[in-house]
Amino acid sequence: GGNMRKLTILRRKSFVGSLVTLKVYIEDHISGELTINGVPCRKLGNIKNGKEAVFDIDNTEAKVFVIADKISKNYCNDSYTVPAGDDDVSVSGVCMFNPASGNAFRFDGVTDEATLKERKKGTRIGIIVLIVALVLGFGVGLLIGFTSEVRESPKEYNVYNMSITLTDKFKSDSSVSGFDACYASNKVIVFFLRENLSNIPGYEHLTVDEYGEIVIEVNDIDASKISHSDDLTYFEYNNDSDYHYSAFLYKDGETFWMIQFCTNQNDTAKYQDRIFEWAASVKFS
């Protein structure tokens, strides 16, 4: 109804999810072309990384959702309630690093309890989806753990300007979204993620440790404190009863890297030394 006004959404630039074009939907009980978290919506348009999008909306109160795609819409989303009125509305947000929520877009400055609760719920669902993806994506190998006494030889893998020496038993897995790369052997999965925070005010001078602390906090991970061994900075966590993660942090110029090694908890002790060896082999060109 009534008068039209402008809704402006700025999607701040971030390396996380940078290639994904996000979709903007608004609550609409008449058209209801897509239901998100139980709310019937229609599509307003798209918004690319680092860009601003302007939409015409009417003067009623309505929920606005930003999603990545229809498949993950119920856990990879964020919403903002536009108040009723004739004033133009301007909001901003950014894709936050969080594999569990599909690196979902997050509106800035949201204090509304309901949205914060949805976020927590979405992340929980996402973690389950992620675990399912891992289990399905890597077939039974990871679960049964083949007794691979086959000879292995060292092999170098490159992701952008980073190189790491693993073994020739690792294969690239492109089915895992939200990361720059993912390599898996029968017993170990390695996730690579890089993030440039130089364009976010206040983050230009972060140390590797501070970055790690933010990752732990933003993702609500029940993790060990940031630890150091030789030149390596890392933290460890279990995300459910089965998997153990060792996350190593690096800084290359203004870009932070997080390289996570995931093993079945029963195998963690066995692979510990090798994981540290692999993590120590990381170089940036």
CB atoms within 10 A of CB 250: 21
Question: Are 75 and 102 in contact, with CB atoms under 8 Å apart?
Answer: yes
Q: How do 283-284 and 227-229 pair as beta strands? A: unpaired
| Dist. CA 83–CA 87, nearest whole Å | 9
- Report the Cα 195 to chain-centroid distance in Å: 11
| Dist. CA 23–CA 17, nearest whole Å | 13
- Report the Cα 11 to chain-centroid distance in Å: 16
Q: Of 111, 115, 93, 86, which Cα lies nearest the Cα of 11? A: 93
pTM, entire model: 0.53
Q: Of 63, 72, 60, which Cα lies nearest the Cα of 99? A: 72
pLDDT averages per 10-residue partition of the chain, 285 residues: 85 74 91 88 91 93 88 77 92 77 77 74 55 41 45 92 96 78 89 79 78 76 87 87 88 90 90 96 97
